[in-house]
């Protein structure tokens, strides 16, 4: 199962990102493991500087701002980060 | 927003044609705006000389003008900003010595897209890559205070002189305050876990942006920024309109005028705990000015509202010890005070 982590300290953009990933997964009928990472030290361990960040199966695929729907669809379709 | 949703296909394929057409329609709209809003106010069954008439006129003139300006400038800045990611800014600043680097950091703060919820990760990322502490602060002070939204509103409501003045003074406060924090050698007052994080070498991917990527970035910026700040602008202009219509002329002169020496520190003390963005505070500032408040006092108020806020301090407390936060607030507040006094003395 694909593991998706959303990194962010709980700001509006982070919540929007989580909602977007959930919505896309539901549309595609995929079951994914979605985690929120809100602790700063854990976020920083991924080496990103702007939140929200998205990590898929351990690899950072996005940082800064809510990702576009097409991007999210791409991640979930590939099954692995491009 | 319908227009944007429909037109997203062909701007990608013909970005030049789209930009030319967008520029022409924007200018046409802007010219049509003043006659249109004038006609609208004239058509309303209100006496223009009455309190309500004055307030309505202010609201109907300024709202479309400011929103139109903001949409245009945010789009253009979105295209420009797409070349300045935080990662690339960090590469530019890493390993530099203070001085020129403070100037660079403050200037990059203006163009690097920055969301206040990213302040802390950004701070750690900079420090980790060897950007000096004072230089990091120059960036963090300039980024929220001097940005396209603040400058556009100032330009729209007061003209280019005050917008430029704000740009120059905001940058000076950021450069000087960062430099002073750097001189004070406060690295020991970072939280321990931040200091103990492994150093990293800053790298950034080479961005190859096509014109249509940039057009996309412009749309994204408009959706994000204008979509987020328009309620603040509306509320700000509405409050401004009420002050405009109902508060007597020269009422503010006694409280916020030049002659009251204590008005500048008071403006800063009142401004720090207030938390709003540039979009919400500037229309109010305009109304205060119109009622006789002194420019320096009002600018000091505005800068302290935007640059220093309690929620930000709470977030920064996770990475900075209390003494460093206190120093940061003290130095920035002193800079803002100075700006207020210099302005009131010169103008």
Closest CA to B271 of B251, B294, B297: B297
CB B267 within 8 A of CB B297: yes
Q: Please give the pLDDT value at position B171.
A: 92
pLDDT for the residue B5: 47
How far apart (Å, rounded) are the C-alpha atoms in residues B108 and B90?
10
pTM above 0.90, yes or no: no
Identify the pLDDT of residue B175: 92
Pairs across A and B, CB distance < 8 A: 57
Q: Which two tokens stand for residue A3?
A: 């593991």
Q: How far apart are CA B7 and CA A31, in angstroms?
A: 34
Six-digit token pair at B141? Answer: 């002070």
Q: What is the pLDDT of residues B58-97, one digit of tens each?
A: 778 778 888 888 888 888 888 888 777 778 888 888 877 7
Print burial letters for B290-317: b (CB count within 10 Å at least 16), e (below 16).
ebbbbbbbbbbbbbbbbbbbeebbebbe
Measured between alpha carbons, how far is B142 from B173 in angstroms, rounded to an integer?
8
Query: Which pLDDT belongs to residue A80?
Result: 45
| CA atoms within 13 A of residue B263's CA, in its CB half-sphere | 22
Q: What is the model's pLDDT at position B198? A: 72
Of A70, A41, A71, the closest CA to residue A54 belongs to A71
Residues of B in contact with A14 (CB under 8 A): 117
Res B117: pLDDT: 66
In this structure, which topology does domain A2-78 adopt according to CATH?
A: Glutaredoxin (3.40.30)
CA distance A36 to B248: 53
pLDDT over 70 for what percent of chain A? 94
Looking at residue B30, what is its pLDDT? Answer: 83
pLDDT score recorded for residue B8: 53
Sheet holding A59-63, edge to edge: A33-37, A3-7, A53-56, A59-63
Q: What is the pLDDT of residue B116?
A: 65
Residue B220 touches chain A, beta carbons under 8 Å? yes
Q: Kindly report the number of other CB atoms within 10 A of residue B20's CB atom.
A: 11
Are B315 and B265 in contact by the 8 Å Cβ rule? The answer is: no
B263-281 exposure pattern, b = at least 16 Cβ within 10 A, e = fewer? bbbbbbeebbeeebbbbbb
Residues 14-73 of A with CB under 8 A from B: 14, 40-41, 43-44, 47-51, 64-66, 68
Structure ipTM: 0.74
The first and second tokens of residue B254, run together, are: 């006694």
Q: Residue B224: list chain A partners with CB under 8 A.
A: 65-66
Low-confidence ranges of chain B (pLDDT < 70): 1-9, 48, 113-117, 202, 204-207, 249-255, 257-260, 275-277, 347
Chain B residues 134-163 within an 8 A CB cutoff of chain A: none
Q: Which helix (H) or strand (E) covers residue A63, if one does?
A: strand A59-63
Q: Please tell me the predicted confidence (pLDDT) of residue B253.
A: 66
Q: In chain A, which residues have their Cβ closer than 8 Å to the Cβ of B192?
A: none
Q: Are B307 and B275 in contact (CB under 8 A)?
A: no
């Amino acid at each position: 199962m694909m593991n998706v982590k959303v990194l962010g300290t709980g700001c509006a953009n982070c919540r929007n990102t989580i909602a977007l990933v959930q919505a896309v997964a539901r549309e595609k009928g995929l079951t994914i493991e979605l985690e929120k990472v809100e602790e700063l030290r854990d976020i920083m361990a991924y080496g990103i500087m702007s939140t929200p960040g998205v990590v898929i199966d351990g690899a950072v695929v996005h940082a800064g701002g809510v990702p576009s729907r097409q991007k999210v669809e791409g991640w979930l379709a590939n099954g692995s980060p491009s | 927003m319908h227009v944007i949703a429909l037109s997203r296909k062909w701007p990608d394929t013909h970005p030049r044609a789209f930009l030319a057409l967008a520029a022409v329609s924007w200018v046409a709209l802007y010219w049509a705006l003043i006659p249109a809003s004038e006609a609208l106010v004239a058509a309303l069954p209100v006496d223009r000389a009455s309190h309500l008439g004055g307030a309505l006129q202010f609201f109907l003139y300024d709202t479309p003008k400011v929103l139109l300006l903001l949409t245009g400038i945010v789009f253009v800045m979105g295209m420009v900003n797409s070349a300045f990611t935080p990662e690339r800014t960090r590469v530019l600043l890493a390993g530099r010595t203070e001085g020129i680097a403070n100037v660079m950091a403050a200037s990059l703060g203006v163009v690097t897209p920055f969301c206040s919820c990213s302040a802390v990760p950004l701070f750690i990322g900079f420090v980790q890559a060897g950007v000096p502490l004072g230089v990091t602060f120059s960036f963090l002070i300039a980024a929220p205070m001097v940005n396209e939204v603040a400058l556009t509103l100032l330009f729209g409501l007061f003209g280019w002189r005050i917008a430029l003045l704000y740009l120059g003074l905001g940058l000076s406060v950021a450069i000087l305050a960062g430099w002073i924090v750097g001189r004070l050698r406060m690295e020991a007052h970072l939280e321990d876990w931040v200091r103990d994080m492994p150093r990293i070498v800053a790298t950034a991917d080479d961005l190859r942006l096509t014109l249509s990527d940039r057009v996309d970035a412009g749309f994204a910026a408009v959706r994000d920024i204008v979509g987020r700040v328009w309620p603040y602008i509306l509320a700000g202009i509405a409050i401004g309109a009420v002050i405009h219509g109902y508060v007597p002329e020269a009422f503010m002169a006694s409280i916020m005028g030049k002659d009251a020496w204590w008005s500048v520190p008071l403006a800063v003390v009142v401004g720090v705990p207030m938390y709003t963005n540039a979009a919400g505070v500037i229309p109010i500032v305009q109304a205060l000015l119109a009622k006789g408040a002194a420019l320096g006092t009002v600018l000091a108020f505005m800068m302290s509202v935007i640059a220093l806020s309690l929620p930000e301090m709470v977030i920064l407390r996770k990475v900075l010890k209390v003494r460093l936060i206190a120093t940061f607030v003290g130095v920035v507040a002193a800079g803002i005070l100075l700006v207020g006094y210099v302005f009131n003395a010169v103008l």
